[in-house]
Amino acid sequence: MVDWQQKIAPLQRLTIAPGQLQNQQISLNIQQQHYLSRVLRLRPGDRFIAMDGQGQWWLAQLQPGAEPAQVLETIPVQTELPVPVTLMAAPPKGNSFDEVVRQATELGVTTIVPVLSDRTLVNPSLQRLERWQRIAQEAAEQSERQVVPQILAPRPLKVWLQVQDWASCGRYFCVTRHPCPHLLDCLEAARQPGILVLTGPEGGWTEAEMQQAIVAGYQPVSLGCRILRAATAPLTALSLIAATLESSRGTLAKGGRVP
């Protein structure tokens, strides 16, 4: 039996678009050829891992002339959380959401949804969104994810609250200064086909926003007795979610898969 963890540990990862793979050959674009041969200094015959960002990994080999690369075999991996996890968050001002995107990707998030709330101070530009998508791709490669998280375009909170795609998920709404159950207790008590967690801006939610979220079916939750920064709260929530899903406190105790 192949020990894939040992076999692939030293190999570099490259995200490809699904259309680049045909008949076991990967057509590499100029940037990818530059990255593999100049940045990583791979030579013909060297191997790397190609990932499509949607769950598939392949062991690939550079050919003489660098292009196309040859697929040698499919790599059976499972590094994703057992259910999709969505982070809906109001980006703080400055660059701190860059790190939220990077670390949320490392923690296993599937989709990141920027929210414009009453007290949000920034409306991210298209360039900023593209930057976040690049950061998510790099972080997915580095953390050996199968899936590159998708970053959606920012919308006002009241628009996101009406989206029905998440209606079957456990939807948790992080609030300060209100008596409500801890997120961890809610996660342990439930088994859901997906999880969505919503965190607010530097200035917090308005009372009207809290009411809208509750009416839309979101469960208000606490992350503890201290006030966390707008960039800290999403990562705290995602750490609790990942730990619950992957530890014996969560999925395993409920008959889920071994990570």
- Contact set with ligand SAM (CB under 6 A): 174-177, 199-200, 202-205, 222-224, 226-230, 233
- Are the C-beta atoms of residues 220 and 255 closer than 8 Å to each other? no
Query: DSSP per residue over 176-202, as a string?
Result: SSS---BHHHHHHH---S-EEEEE--T
Shortest approach of ligand SAM to residue 143 CB, angstroms? Answer: 24
22 vs 8: CA distance, rounded Å: 23
Shortest approach of ligand SAM to residue 105 CB, angstroms? Answer: 19
Q: Which residues pair with 73 in a beta bridge?
A: 59
Shortest approach of ligand SAM to residue 211 CB, angstroms? Answer: 15
Q: Report the residue number, 220 or 250, with the smaller CB distance to ligand SAM.
A: 220
Shortest approach of ligand SAM to residue 171 CB, angstroms? Answer: 13
**Residue in the shown chain whose Cβ atom is closest to ligand SAM:** 200
188 Cα distance to chain centroid: 21
Interacting residues of 44 by C-beta distance below 8 A, sequence separation 6+ = 62, 63, 64, 65, 66
Shortest approach of ligand SAM to residue 92 CB, angstroms? Answer: 8
Query: DSSP per residue over 45-69, as a string?
Result: T-EEEEE-SBS-EEEEEPPTTS-SE
Within 10 A of 75 (CB to CB), how many other CB atoms are there? 19
Q: Report the residue number, 28 or 233, with the smaller CB distance to ligand SAM.
A: 233
Q: Report the residue number, 15 or 199, with the smaller CB distance to ligand SAM.
A: 199
Radius of gyration in angstroms for the set of CA atoms belonging to the chain, rounded to a whole number: 20
Within 10 A of 80 (CB to CB), how many other CB atoms are there? 15
30 vs 86: CA distance, rounded Å: 33
Question: What is the rounded end-to-end Cα distance, in angstroms, of the chain?
Answer: 19
Shortest approach of ligand SAM to residue 198 CB, angstroms? Answer: 7
Q: Report the residue number, 123 or 142, with the smaller CB distance to ligand SAM.
A: 123
Q: Report the residue number, 150 or 176, with the smaller CB distance to ligand SAM.
A: 176
- Are the C-beta atoms of residues 141 and 36 closer than 8 Å to each other? no
Q: Report the residue number, 55 or 203, with the smaller CB distance to ligand SAM.
A: 203
Q: Is the peptide bond preceding residue 68 cis, with omega within 30 degrees of 0?
A: yes
Shortest approach of ligand SAM to residue 209 CB, angstroms? Answer: 9
Q: Report the residue number, 32 or 120, with the smaller CB distance to ligand SAM.
A: 120
